[in-house]
Amino acid sequence: MSPTTHPSFRNPRARHNFLGRTCSITGVGSYIPERVLTNADLEKMVSTTDEWITSRTGIKERRIAAANEFTSDLGAKAAQKAMANAGITADQIDLVIVATITPDMPFPSTACLVQRKIGATRAAAFDLEAACSGFIYALEIGQQFIMSRTYDTVLVIGAEKLSSIVDWEDRNTCVLFGDGAGAAILQNRPNSHGLLTAVMGADGNKSELLFMPGGGSKCPATHDSVNARLHYLRMEGKETFKNAVQAMCTAAQEALRRCEIDITRIKCIIPHQANRRIIDAVADRLGATPEQCFINLHHTGNTSAASVAIALDQAIESGRIQRGDLVLLVVFGAGLTWGAAVIEW
Ligand code: ACO
């Protein structure tokens, strides 16, 4: 019997590890801001068309946070929904991890601000930065704390207010991104469904493909840096596209290999929602059918670290994912970074 058809496909960690621990996702939640920015709206802002944006990306509209709504607000709202779905209260949370490239401010961490907003007074809190791959990185790190018996309940959030770092005069990038947040509660639940495996990767040699030059220690904010528009994200779209397809395929295949399953066992693939053409190319190379992929980017645009977290919540809420289904998350982002995870929901 080949490894891909063996009935014991489950990674042993899913049932329990040698400490008797299992990491389950007991609740998810998401929040997207009310304001909708359509492609027709963008036609009035930059030289673009709905036809160009739709045919090149699949995006029709994206959500934009209000002026007084910050990444921590989006994250807190997603967290409250995840807590309700998991049936837990804030005082049960041991750790808050927020994945973001748009923190409310350089410090304190957005995780500390979320901790205050939701009243998770017992929790430790920190941010992590892996761009669009952040939610998978956060899932894997959160899982490690659960499996090592350090914590019993971890709140993992991907949250972004990308509208705050998008250059609204640059048609190459401003049509792509949106704001939002998604969250998951990880808990030790012996002999339950769980996070079967997570894969993470990075290649800093290609960091110049997608970056924001200003605002850090290399280029602190000055009048000159603002005038030179250095506090906005920059991207080489074509090269990013090619690297995304390759890295997402590699990460997905590694995650499947570790679980000893093939792609046909996956009920729902939740890819990073950056570009419909990237998703189609990845699905094709993995041998997946278009029906296996969950897509919401036409409504959300690319929400970076929040992307797969929002999609996971919407897929569950819409009934697309049922209890017991195997779900593959696969991501790619600046860094470069990438990752994949297999969940038994
Ligand atoms: N409207 C109209 N024309 C446009 C627009 C626009 N919004 N944007 C670019 N163009 C023009 C370009 O100027 C170019 O014109 P030219 O040929 O006269 O120079 C032409 O359209 C073609 O541009 P390309 O870059 O070749 O278009 P491409 O087919 O590569 O699509 C895109 C561009 C959508 C950005 C694509 O490359 C892409 O999706 N890249 C990957 C992005 C991504 O996945 N990012 C993920 C990580 S995000 C993160 O980590 C935060």
Instruction: Classify domain 12-191 by CATH architecture.
Output: 3-Layer(aba) Sandwich (3.40)
**Order of all β-strands in the sheet with 195-202:** 195-202, 337-344, 326-333, 268-271
How far, in Å, from the CA of 67 to the mean position of ligand 1?
27
- Residues with Cβ within 6 A of ligand 1? 48, 52-53, 56-57, 131-132, 171-172, 175, 210, 237-238, 240-241, 244, 274-275, 278, 302, 304, 332-334
12-191 with 196-344: one CATH topology? yes
Q: pTM, whole model, 2 decimals? A: 0.94
Distance CA 316, CA 30 (A): 11
How far, in Å, from the CA of 238 to the mean position of ligand 1?
7
Q: Can you tell me which atom of ligand 1 is nearest the CA of 132?
A: 50
Q: Please name which of 333, 327, 325 lies closest in space to residue 307, comparing C-alpha atoms.
A: 333
How far, in Å, from the CA of 236 to the mean position of ligand 1?
8
Number of neighbours of residue 163 by Cβ within 10 angstroms: 22
List 112, 132, 268, 293, catalytic entry: 132
List 272, 275, 293, 296, catalytic entry: 272
pLDDT digits (tens, 9 = 90+) for 261-287: 999 999 999 999 999 999 999 999 999
Annotated active-site residue 172? The verdict is no
pLDDT digits (tens, 9 = 90+) for 220-255: 999 999 999 999 999 999 999 999 999 999 999 999
- CA–CA distance from 319 to each of 134, 193, 203, 264, 322 (Å)? 25, 17, 36, 19, 6
How far, in Å, from the CA of 334 to the mean position of ligand 1?
16
Contact yes or no for 274/332 (Cβ under 8 A): yes
pLDDT digits (tens, 9 = 90+) for 80-96: 999 999 999 999 999 99
Please determine, looking at this structure, whether the domain spanning 196-344 carries the CATH number 3.40.50.1820: no
Annotated active-site residue 272? The verdict is yes
pLDDT digits (tens, 9 = 90+) for 195-221: 899 999 999 999 999 999 999 999 999
Name the residue ranges covered by the structural domains of the chain: 12-191, 196-344
Distance CA 248, CA 244 (A): 6
Tokens read off for 105: 């401010």
